Structure 1
Amino acid sequence: MKIFAPTRGPNCLDNVNFSVVDVRTVEAGLSDHAGQLVCFNVRASKEPIEFDRKRFRSITQLGLLDFYNNAKPINWNFVSDENVSMNLKLEKLIDFSDTAFLKSFPETYTRRDDKPKKVEWFDDSLKHMRDMLSFLREVLFRSIL
């Protein structure tokens, strides 16, 4: 399968062939390139599943700056080098992206607590205020239409 939508131009490295089922371009808003959304199956990890902790990588402004600073000094001449195969170009791009992403956006752990927390500060006056706001909002939207 190929991404048929242009991402930046016909000579751009990210106009490549994929042999996966679900692939499409998305507007990420991070650069002048369109992003690529590629879905594929990954083999299950042999690590035990931990239900009491949640792992995630936050996309932060500091991480984006670090990612940019890692990409800036890279020599991108291999992209236009006709002696380098498309597979090697893609492999280099994925290796760089993977390394930079893992470095720029470290994993964070938090305890998972699926039990709903009791909210004690949301008293009757706040409930009344919420209901009144909902009512006024509905009246406003009806008057606009």
Structure 2
Amino acid sequence: MNNVNQLKELVQVARDGAEFYEQAFEQVQDSQLRSLFSRMAAAKRELINGLSASIAASGEVVPPGGTLSGALRKVYAQVRATLARDETRAYVAQLEDAEDRLLEHLRRAIREADDPSVLRQLEMYLPRVRDCHDEMRALKQRMAA
């Protein structure tokens, strides 16, 4: 997969995450969780904006939406949360899965990048993506205890 296609895929996966956090923000009442979800969505938007600029600079079109699997995951999570006794816990579990997916895609893109400027850009985003992932994993673990 070439560098631009990797960036496009990352934009789509990050967009899935941002939209999912925005959906969860609308569904939960807890102000701390709403703040967390808003901050996480903003982190995804920052990644989308940065990568989109690189895609556009290469003369390619930035993907306008997320992935099909991301859309299906959001629907699944909403149904699951509706049916769950603890809606918040169900959202957190699915959001942590979304973080796993983004981190996995970013790490793969870093391994496969053959353009040094793309590699530097991806590596620049890695700490923030990892921090978001770790924060959601810790929240999921605290809620399960």
- In our comparison, the structure showing a higher alpha carbon Rg is 1
For the criterion TM > 0.5, the same-fold answer is no
User: Could you say which structure has the higher strand fraction?
Assistant: 1
RCO higher in 1 or 2 (8 Å CA, sep ≥ 6)? 2
User: Could you say which structure has the higher helix fraction?
Assistant: 2
Scaled by the length of structure 2, the TM-score of the pair is 0.31
Scaled by the length of structure 1, the TM-score of the pair is 0.31
